[in-house]
Structure 1
Amino acid sequence: MYMAYGWPQVIPLEQGHCPSSQRIIYLKVINRLLLVVSPSHLELWSSSQYKVRLGKYKRDPASVEREGENLQAVWSPDAKLIAVITSSFFLHIFKVQFSDKRVQIGGKQPSGLFLASISLLLSEQVPFAGKGLGVSNIVSDNKHMLVGLSNGSLYGISWKAEFFGAFQLDHCPHNRNEESALSHSCNGLAPGGGLGGFVSNHNITRNSAITQLELYIQMRLLFVLYSDGQLTSCSVSKKGLKQAELIKAEKMLGSGDAVCASIASDQKILAVGTRRGVVDLYDLAESASLFRTVSLYDWGYTVDDTGAVSCIAWTPDNSAFAVGWKLRGLTVWSVSGCRLMSTIRQIGLSSVSSPTVKSNQDCKYEPLMGGTSLSQWDEHGYRLYAIEEGSLERILEFSFGKCCLSRGVSGMTYVRQVIYGEDRLLVVQSEDTDELKILHLNLPVSYISKNWPVQHVASSKDGMYLAVAGAHGLILYDMRLKKWRVFGDVTQEQKIQCKGLLWLGKIVVVCNYVDFSNTYELLFYPRYHLDQSSLLCRKPLLAKPMVMDVYQDYILVTYHPFDVHIFHVKLVGELTPSSTPDLQYENSQS
């Protein structure tokens, strides 16, 4: 589960050449890099431990006047190319290259960041220019792009700026009776006759404009959203967007008032934002059936307050999603429908404890009061970037923590409630007054600067010791002494890539990934010393574990698809710095 903490930070953006459209058009995170595309320029920021602008490209006023403002953009999956379509229908392809010049942040630790250059590779007018058409967003795979047009057709372009022409996507029946009568209408796309041609070989087509495309490569699905609120699910060939003519309309989704959509690829869930201000969740693994609807109605807000949904962004693990509205605010929900964070003040309908907002109350300090146009999570789920509607000056950055496991598979409940952020722990402490306080534990700079971000945290059963692992190694924290314990030998620390943490009494158990052999193993360290000389045992694993848990002297390890192994651990001798105990294990059950 996710929890927001602290005040939102601000990333300042450069100002362009007086654009007529007061909005950022594109926001995307790839490989710890944040790309921002404005109407007249592009900026590349680091999305890692340090917020630094690494590169930019600013179009001159003559170029903007001649070829129009940036209208739509897409970043290639390998983060090397950026495609932009301007308002005068010019295609710009930019190349991103990193130099050898390292960014100096300050202090003794290197930042690992390098300055980047964004250069224009080509500028070419697209074949459908001058036809009075509008364009949707752009989707892409490694070699091809696809854009929707306002006449209801799709247009294919390669990353080499090859134009493949337009294809008309046919109308898909709403129900079985219509499908029986019009079975020919979902046969797919009819290739146009040459560049810029729009011809269909079927009788029934849609005339509504395409406003959004959402590509799901893993399931070979393309979702097409129209200006009239209809959402169509289409199948894509095995070769992806290279064979756009083989895209077939399969079924209609939603209630006809969709305005945006976003896919949780790992969970196979489609989130659809509507004009009613609610979000519908569809299970793509179960014939795209509707299984949940979330809204702010229970908190006293209707579509008159928030407007329609403007954007949806899933966390990297697909367990939560952020929803922005056109007129006001941003909210984060879990897949189960729990509201985790909201910038909108809670007023409530019937709750006595809910504060009531007076008509004259000053709301100027509420973030995103003017609505949310774009949102995007970082690659670890610790930061949510959001842009206010009509804003060109800044990006708001919300910090999030993740909750540690409070109850294991075995049913054991942990005393200590811990939330971990990218570089800190937030320990929940209960007071005698029944009030909860959160203690911020900043990780040692010497460790987190080299191993950012925090990836795994485990609390001992009594809650007195915490184990924390970043990109490499691990460190321990003693709640009583308020001290950190680290590896004395940094080379040993860097050899550990932790994929899971457990406490077995006074022993910390590390699931380690061995890079050179592509294998996994369990490492057993005593809590009083982190060093190779103190390693109690090393146990090889069959594969990458799905779930691990501890119950008394037993360790449970599960492998895909659901192979369960239970090990009984015995410690011979006393576990003290002055002794050398022997740790033994045996397979209890598999």
Structure 2
Amino acid sequence: MYWPIGTPKTYATSSSSGPEFNLVVSDDGITNPFDRASINEPPQHPYVSSTEPCHENGAQNALPEPSVESTTPLTPATPATPAVRAVERGDPDQPDSAAFASTQISDAVKLPLKDPVLGLRTSPEWIVVCRHQSDLNTVCGQEWRTAILAVGGRSVSSLSTYGENFDLLMRPDSAILVVHTTQGYLITYSLATDSEAHVYKPYFPSYANIQRRRQIHAGPGGSAPDQFLWGPGEGAGVRDVSVRFRMVIKVDAGIESALALDDELVVATRKPAAVQCIRWTPDNSGSQTKTEMISRMGWLDKKITITEMTHDRPMNLSTWITSDGKAHAVQRVSARKLAEGEADPKKLFKGYCFHSPRGKFDHARRAVINARFSLIAVGCANGSIHVYSARDYAGNIPSSHIHTLPVSHTVSGALTTLSYSPDGYCLFAGFEKGWATWSVYGKLGSHSFNFDDSVAETAGEDWLSSVIDAVWLGGGSELLMASRDREAIWAIEMARSAVAGCYNSANLLRTVLQTSTSVMIYRGYDLPDLASISAEPFLWHTAEIPPAYLLNQWPIRHTVISPDGRYVAVAGRRGLAHYSVNSGRWKTFLNEAAENELPS
């Protein structure tokens, strides 16, 4: 269903030279020692003291929330408990606030230029690149991968107090980012956007030049004069984005794993082993934090911790991987059942174990949910991937099939990342020494274990020999990968079968591949051998999708071919484009308004 095509595009997250403009680094609530206004001030403790008086529910008096003007819902002060404490300092809107350092770059607050990538996170709109130490994140757009829209840097004071970046979390609506540090802190930031403000606008100093361009590009189907520089999906312009510090949460019990959901932040602690739910906003009773000890969860074994948590929004289902190598399907007990008395108010979660290891090589390491086919894939210590079928929410999750590697575990290394394509037809697995893809039910697609590591290292193609994280872009048209100890990220264009987007008889009968900007039609049905499809270029008819259509309607979601193979139609966000194989011509809507009236 999915095949990588061509060589990947490489994007650098750092530069060999410093920026010409001043970067604003965040002290994350700590008084900046290099700020002149704070030289004569006494040092402030970075978190709320545990000796403060507590309420009956164990929550301490939280500090007042800073005033942050943003288009996103504000996160109130998190009540401090013996295990979770909120840290807030300063007002980000004030220029002299301790929340942000001075814009004057000194030697003490310069950002390292060669910081490796730690992880990648994506949402329907944004791509967030988390670097190991200096940067909180680098924000790019799904359509504008080459344009950095915002950079959040952490100062030396923040790094020394809270620790380096360990993991990055993103709320499903991408309004809040959470950084998990090595010293057990959760630093929250807001991602604010302005729909009216745009950046990276083309500027033409010559008035005669812009008038001539208006005449060239005028007419039905032509793009606006300032759009000829733009690529697929950039028709609406590049929106302005800002990253703002919100608060710091200290978890004294230690953080094993964390999960950012729509309504709350779920944190699995180490000592004591428990699961804490921290709401973004207080509930009707004013409570904001709830905790359930793992020892009181009857469906979990005793003396274990939760090493990884994942959540799937369409299925409303989570997976927990515990330290004993088991995998569990977990759901949050609904508030309605708690209000009606149908469930124990002390019980926050219910779950079922569906993967029990037979030996140390079967211990679960990663898990991912495929909502399209109701599957749960569990990556094991030996590199194999066990897939289970989630038939209901009552624990009926039998084994479906197993994805096996073409090489041994010694060659592949440990599993680092696991991800399904947005349509669920392709499974990508990244390892310490390579990567591999499978179809949804276990057919091996492509892998990088045949390449020589020394050749890849010499050529700088580390994406072939090591993958630490990967995310899908453009509805599955591209795959973004990050390698260990490298500051670059690689974008591989994927060709997928038209059946993945539009399942009909014509697409099953004739082979049509869809890429990010083109369609490829197979014309080798006259060959005597029809058991396999040839990869010879002369047997494939490639047609580039009109840039005017891709400008506003990227990514392409559906592709369909006529039963006689003479016509092909593609559909993006809205509208459609029609192609004739015989004439080689495209037809699109002349009126953009009429095109937008046809939903995809």
Q: Same fold (TM over 0.5)?
A: yes
Matching residue of 2:334: 238
Matching residue of 2:180: 85
Q: 1:64 aligned to 2:142?
A: no
Please tell me the root mean square deviation across aligned C-alpha atoms, in Å: 3.4
Contact 1:235 1:249 in 2 (8 A): yes
Structure 1 pair 140–405 and aligned structure 2 pair: CA distance change class (3 A): closer
Higher share in strand: 1
Matching residue of 2:265: 145
Q: 1:282 aligned to 2:400?
A: no
CA deviations 1:344-377 (Å, max 9, x no partner) are: 228xxxxxxxxxx7x9877755653442211111
Q: Structure 2 residue aligned with 1:267, among 357, 362, 373?
A: 373
Structure 1 pair 411–452 and aligned structure 2 pair: CA distance change class (3 A): closer
Q: Distance in 1 between matches of 2:146 and 2:349?
A: 41
- Counterpart amino acid of residue 411 in structure 2: D
Q: Distance in 1 between matches of 2:293 and 2:113?
A: 33
Q: Structure 1 residue aligned with 2:302, among 180, 183, 205?
A: 205
Shift of 1:316: 1.0
Contact 2:507 2:561 in 1 (8 A): no
SS state at 1:305 partner: helix
Q: Distance in 2 between matches of 1:98 and 1:407?
A: 31
Q: 1:136 aligned to 2:256?
A: yes
Q: Distance in 2 between matches of 1:244 and 1:43?
A: 40
Structure 1 pair 64–159 and aligned structure 2 pair: CA distance change class (3 A): same
Shift of 1:58: 0.7
Moved more, 147-156 or 335-344: 147-156
The percentage of aligned residue pairs carrying the same residue is 18
Q: Distance in 2 between matches of 1:497 and 1:407?
A: 15
SS state at 2:383 partner: coil
Structure 1 pair 31–362 and aligned structure 2 pair: CA distance change class (3 A): closer
Structure 1 pair 75–241 and aligned structure 2 pair: CA distance change class (3 A): farther
CA deviations 1:255-286 (Å, max 9, x no partner) are: 15111111112322111111111100011116
Map 1:140-539 onto structure 2 (within 5 A). Answer: 140-151=260-271, 152-159=273-280, 164=289, 166-170=291-295, 186-187=297-298, 205-206=302-303, 208-216=304-312, 219-239=315-335, 245-255=347-357, 256-285=362-391, 287-296=396-405, 299=406, 301-325=407-431, 327-345=432-450, 364=458, 367-378=462-473, 380-391=475-486, 393-405=487-499, 416-430=510-524, 436-437=536-537, 438-498=540-600
CA deviations 1:308-355 (Å, max 9, x no partner) are: 221111111112211111x21111111111122222228xxxxxxxxx
Q: Distance in 2 between matches of 1:223 and 1:410?
A: 33
Higher share in helix: 2
Contact 1:220 1:238 in 2 (8 A): no
Q: TM-score by structure 1 length?
A: 0.68
Structure 1 pair 435–282 and aligned structure 2 pair: CA distance change class (3 A): closer
Q: Distance in 1 between matches of 2:522 and 2:142?
A: 28
Structure 1 pair 10–239 and aligned structure 2 pair: CA distance change class (3 A): farther
Matching residue of 1:6: 6
Contact 1:26 1:74 in 2 (8 A): no
Structure 1 pair 412–439 and aligned structure 2 pair: CA distance change class (3 A): closer
Q: Structure 1 residue aligned with 2:131, among 28, 32, 38?
A: 38
What is the aligned residue count? 447
Shift of 1:406: 11
Q: TM-score by structure 2 length?
A: 0.67
SS state at 1:108 partner: helix
Matching residue of 1:75: 170
Segments of 5+ residues of structure 2 without an aligned counterpart are: 16-109, 203-224, 228-234, 339-344, 529-533
Shift of 1:85: 2.7
Q: Distance in 1 between matches of 2:588 and 2:331?
A: 52
Structure 1 pair 66–108 and aligned structure 2 pair: CA distance change class (3 A): same
Structure 1 pair 262–136 and aligned structure 2 pair: CA distance change class (3 A): farther
Question: Which structure has more RCO (C-alpha within 8 Å, separation ≥ 6)?
Answer: 2
Contact 2:317 2:329 in 1 (8 A): yes
CA deviations 1:452-486 (Å, max 9, x no partner) are: 12222222233222222222222222222222222
Structure 1 pair 105–441 and aligned structure 2 pair: CA distance change class (3 A): farther
SS state at 2:550 partner: helix
CA deviations 1:369-389 (Å, max 9, x no partner) are: 442211111251111111112
Matching residue of 1:104: 200
Moved more, 413-422 or 266-275: 413-422
Segments of 5+ residues of structure 1 without an aligned counterpart are: 171-184, 190-203, 347-356, 499-590
Q: Distance in 1 between matches of 2:185 and 2:11?
A: 29
Structure 1 pair 405–281 and aligned structure 2 pair: CA distance change class (3 A): closer
Contact 2:333 2:347 in 1 (8 A): no
Shift of 1:145: 0.8
CA deviations 1:273-307 (Å, max 9, x no partner) are: 111111000111161111111112xx3x1000011
Structure 1 pair 436–369 and aligned structure 2 pair: CA distance change class (3 A): closer
Q: Distance in 1 between matches of 2:161 and 2:336?
A: 34
Q: Distance in 2 between matches of 1:49 and 1:249?
A: 40
